[in-house]
């Protein structure tokens, strides 16, 4: 039987936004994130990180840096009793940077490629899954994959929320942070969508 998943953006959603984070020592969880992930895992959702990392194409982040950051994430999550089902990253940029990472790709959000790859790898039911992130492109990637989407106001979320205008491709829910987003997911009866600032 296919599993349901929560797809999670990384920077600004799970950890504090750092411009092209390359140093694992600068990685810092946002408040409430570990509690949110623990609750989602306990609720039966597979946890999958999907993150655009064009800093690799641009030469601002090395692949080894990214691997070290994700290793630190997994270690700290394991200490909190949380296991990620997968981490998927897109190293590409459509027109800036160095080979072999400069090209239009299927994985850079808002394209759904990372979510679809995870679906194939992990046997996920996308119709029962959610995408949570701090950017409209996160929401769009979720919709394109057939998921419901939540915008969090952390990271770039507040400025992105101002761009939520009708008509949208699908309803978009807005949460203060990942902990509130987790509450929406766990309720399985989401409140009326917030389609923009009031």
Per-residue pLDDT reduced to its tens digit, 147-186? 999 999 999 999 998 887 755 667 789 999 999 999 999 9
Residues noted as catalytic: 9, 11
User: What is the pLDDT at residue 162?
Assistant: 84
Question: Is 81 exposed, middle or buried, given 0-12, 13-18 or 19+ CB atoms closer than 10 A?
Answer: exposed
Structural domains counted in the chain: 1
Q: Which two tokens stand for residue 142?
A: 């979720």
Instruction: Tell me whether residue 192 is in a domain.
Output: no
Q: Which two tokens stand for residue 186?
A: 């766990």
Tell me: pLDDT of 13 over 70: yes
Instruction: Tell me whether residue 193 is in a domain.
Output: no
Report the pLDDT averaged over residues 122-134. 97
Instruction: Tell me whether residue 144 is in a domain.
Output: yes
Instruction: Tell me whether residue 167 is in a domain.
Output: yes
Containing domain of residue 172, as a range? Answer: 5-187
Instruction: Tell me whether residue 103 is in a domain.
Output: yes
Of the pLDDT bands very low, low, confident and very high (cuts 50, 70, 90), residue 190 is very low
Per-residue pLDDT reduced to its tens digit, 22-62? 999 999 999 999 999 999 999 999 999 999 999 999 999 99
Instruction: Tell me whether residue 37 is in a domain.
Output: yes
- C-alpha 128/C-alpha 115 separation (Å) is 13
Q: How far is CA 115 from CA 39, 103, 179, in A?
A: 21, 19, 22
**pLDDT exceeding 70 applies to what percent of the chain?**
92
Tell me: pLDDT of 194 over 70: no
Q: What is the mean pLDDT of the chain?
A: 91
- More reliable by pLDDT, 190 or 113: 113
Per-residue pLDDT reduced to its tens digit, 144-155? 999 999 999 999
Instruction: Tell me whether residue 196 is in a domain.
Output: no
**pTM to 2 decimal places:** 0.92
Instruction: Tell me whether residue 194 is in a domain.
Output: no
């Amino acid at each position: 039987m296919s599993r349901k998943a929560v797809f999670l953006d990384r920077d600004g959603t799970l950890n504090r936004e750092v411009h092209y984070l390359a140093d694992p020592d600068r990685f810092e969880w946002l408040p409430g994130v570990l509690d949110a992930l623990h609750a989602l895992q306990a609720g039966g959702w597979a946890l999958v990180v999907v993150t655009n990392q064009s800093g690799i194409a641009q030469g601002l982040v090395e692949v080894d840096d990214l691997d070290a950051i994700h290793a630190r994430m997994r270690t700290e999550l394991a200490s909190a009793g949380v296991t990620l089902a997968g981490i998927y990253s897109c190293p590409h940029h459509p027109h800036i940077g160095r080979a072999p990472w400069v090209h239009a790709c299927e994985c850079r959000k808002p394209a759904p490629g990372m979510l679809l790859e995870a679906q194939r790898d992990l046997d996920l039911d996308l119709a029962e899954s959610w995408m949570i992130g701090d950017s409209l492109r996160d929401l769009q990637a979720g919709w394109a994959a057939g998921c419901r989407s939540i915008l969090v106001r952390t990271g770039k979320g507040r400025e992105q929320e101002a761009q939520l205008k009708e008509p949208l491709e699908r309803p978009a829910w807005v949460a203060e942070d990942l902990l509130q987003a987790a509450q929406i997911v766990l309720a399985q009866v989401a409140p009326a969508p917030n389609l923009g600032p009031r």
